[in-house]
Amino acid sequence: MKLLNSFGHAWHGIQYCFRTQLNFRVHLMVLLIVTIAGFILTISNTEWLFIIGCSMLVMALELVNTAIEYLCDTITKDIHPAIKIIKDVSAGAVLLAAAGSVVTGIIIFFPKIIGCLKL
């Protein structure tokens, strides 16, 4: 029962992030587009692994970033230099993962798109 409760709490966290965080919804939309493109362009199993891994990393970091921001805002609403650094570093982690995901997507999809255009 405790395990089921853990999944319920995790699901509530994902729902909270979806409801309150624009970037989370943007990442989900990009994931949907990339998934559709993956099926249309028939990417390999290995390519799917990279797409899934990159996508889940970005989504997970967005959840962590949201939790960190919420915690910081609970501590103080005032502008505090340490809180700013914490929030900036947390957002930077998401940015790095997203940038790496974009590069991975270009490496996977660009040759396939060029191949389709040559037909």
Catalytic pick from 43, 62, 97, 98? 62
**Residue/partner pairs of 39-46 with CB below 8 Å, 24 or more apart:** 41/109, 41/112, 41/113, 41/116, 43/108, 43/109, 43/112
Count of CB atoms situated within 10 Å of the CB of 3 = 7
69 is catalytic: no
CA atoms 41, 42, 45, 46: torsion sign: negative
User: Hey, what are 97's tokens?
Assistant: 């993962």
Residues recognised as catalytic: 62
